[in-house]
Amino acid sequence: MTDKLIIFDTTLRDGEQSPGASMTKDEKLRIARQLERLKVDVIEAGFAASSNGDFECVHAIASAIKDSTVCSLSRANDRDIARAAEALKPAARGRIHTFIATSALHMEKKLRMTPDEVFEQSKLAVRFARNQIDDVEFSAEDGYRSDVDFLCRVIEAVIKEGATTINVPDTVGYAIPELYGNFIKTLRERVPNSDKAIWSVHCHNDLGMAVANSLAGVKIGGARQIECTINGLGERAGNCSLEEVVMAVKTRKDYFGLDVGIDASHILAASRMVSQTTGFVVQPNKAVVGANAFAHASGIHQDGVLKARDTYEIMRAEDVGWSANKIVLGKLSGRNAFKQRLQELGVMLESEGEIMAAFAKFKDLADRKTEIFDEDILALVSDESVTAEKEQYGFISLSQHSETGEKPQAEVVFSVAGKEVRGTAEGNGPVDASLKAIESHVQSGAEMVLYSVNAISGSTESQGEVTVRLQNSGRVVNGMGADPDIIVASAKAYLSALNKLHSKAERVAAQG
């Protein structure tokens, strides 16, 4: 058995299924490049058959990524598989990941297929995929709740048809570590040709055990691939967290005895990029990448760390990229320095015009803010990418008045389809007044289900990063805005969310 643990990142596919976390092609490309810099083994770029937009994203990532395998999800049918194969044509190394549900509940209620029909469909799908590409992964959706005898029968058959990776997901987060590990072990022992494929685990975090279950699948079950996402991003309670499993295996190599190819020094940058792109803020006490992950408040702990770091630190902050959090640019920095920093952060702007527009915004920010951090640049460029796409709504300016004992008032000037409009309103506070001023003109009828404020860096000079989640007609979208003025950031976030509602991007949900 190999001593290499394969890291399969599905941030761009399963992670994107979080309500409101859908990304543009440019945003996906930026994250894919960061994942490649992180030395992720496999990048699941999307679900090519789900929409033309997803197809284009998978194709673009397959064209750009050279060092990682690029993967596309597909249902177990010829149309999906052919679409995935077409999207993956430019890839230096491509993989088709086909799936079908195998639990009695899913087969009866969702697929409305008999076990024999699922068995035959699984074989045909893998056979067809293998004719398109050499690297084929098969997932038994809701595998952990499947009948063991039936699952063994399916897995043996798809390996015979050429599946090179077998994934047994805990799709609904029902597993317990010891039981899940033994479940994988039992399957590997009972499937006669189990040694002909790499076994993979894909665990959801509904009971808070996705990382523990994944590691048990590796240690007890013998799996050699973990499917995970940056920051544990994903629908419902999320997926197994990449940064946590990677650092667990690296820190406790004495126990796991496995090698991981990940360059951990890029973990923090990846975490921040995903957080700022999706608007999903990382909680301060999140392991490895949270703001408090290496902070020590207790006097006893502080004393110990000052005397010898390993008294309370099992990892070094700099090993996962915290040392990179330093001031990089200021108001005197030139265009070339700015362009170089964009490249180091994995941001690729397509034209000189986009670079100049982003640089102009950088200089404007530098005039208002003494210290410019990497997070500021990422937020600025995320904001710039939205503007560059000529969205329906764009922020122009804002004025507001608030005084103790008086009702706050706001006037927001913004563009609608290129035409300047202005809205005015009163509210319970300046933010409320500003968003009501926008809504007074737009009249979207959307319900706000989340409003969140996060400081991008640590001082009072910090840019405020606002996330607004809107819900309308069954659609849920996140909008993100950043600005040193939190009220302006709020207006930008609201307009960003309205843009996503207006785009009505086609999405097809899939689970693996």
Task: Encode pLDDT of 425-435 as tens digits.
Answer: 999 999 999 99
Rounded alpha-carbon distances, angstroms, from residue 99 to 96, 172, 183? 10, 15, 19
Same domain membership, residue 425 and residue 339: no
User: Any bridge partners for residue 229, and if so which?
Assistant: 241
- Is 222 within a domain? yes
pLDDT level of residue 364 (50, 70, 90 thresholds): confident
Same domain membership, residue 452 and residue 365: no
Q: Reduce the DSSP state of residue 67 to 3 states and report it.
A: coil
pLDDT level of residue 84 (50, 70, 90 thresholds): very high
Q: Which two tokens stand for residue 179?
A: 């039981």
Residue 218 has pLDDT above 70, yes or no: yes
Mean pLDDT of 96-116: 97
* CA angle (74 as vertex; 73, 78 as ends), nearest 5: 150
Determine the pLDDT at residue 324.
Answer: 44
Q: What's the chain's average pLDDT? A: 89
- Is 171 within a domain? yes
- Is 12 within a domain? yes
The reported pTM is 0.84
| CATH number of the domain within which 410 lies | 3.30.160.270
Determine the pLDDT at residue 5.
Answer: 98
Q: Reduce the DSSP state of residue 98 to 3 states and report it.
A: strand
Same domain membership, residue 411 and residue 375: no
Same domain membership, residue 93 and residue 29: yes
**Which position has the higher pLDDT, 336 or 330?**
336
Determine the pLDDT at residue 225.
Answer: 98
**Which position has the higher pLDDT, 107 or 330?**
107
CB 470 within 8 A of CB 501: yes
- Is 438 within a domain? yes
- Is 417 within a domain? yes
- The domain tally of the chain equals 4
pLDDT level of residue 309 (50, 70, 90 thresholds): low
Same domain membership, residue 110 and residue 54: yes
Same domain membership, residue 415 and residue 458: yes
Same domain membership, residue 394 and residue 382: no
- Is 237 within a domain? yes
Rounded alpha-carbon distances, angstroms, from residue 346 to 41, 327, 363? 18, 17, 20
**Which position has the higher pLDDT, 320 or 44?**
44
Determine the pLDDT at residue 386.
Answer: 43
Q: Which two tokens stand for residue 50?
A: 């789900």
Cα distance between residue 57 and residue 45, in whole Å: 7
Q: Give the domain range for residue 459.
A: 390-503
Cα distance between residue 81 and residue 481, in whole Å: 38
Determine the pLDDT at residue 358.
Answer: 84
CB 99 within 8 A of CB 139: yes
- Is 313 within a domain? yes
Same domain membership, residue 246 and residue 167: yes
Same domain membership, residue 357 and residue 464: no
Determine the pLDDT at residue 507.
Answer: 47
- Is 64 within a domain? yes
Same domain membership, residue 394 and residue 355: no
Dihedral pair phi/psi, residue 361, rounded to 5°: -65, -35
What is the per-residue pLDDT across 73-83, written as a single tens digit (0 to 9) for each?
999 999 999 99
CB 367 within 8 A of CB 376: no
Same domain membership, residue 400 and residue 378: no
Determine the pLDDT at residue 113.
Answer: 97
Mean pLDDT of 391-409: 93
What is the per-residue pLDDT across 370-397, written as a single tens digit (0 to 9) for each?
667 776 777 777 665 544 445 789 999 9
Residue 264 has pLDDT above 90, yes or no: yes
Same domain membership, residue 442 and residue 308: no
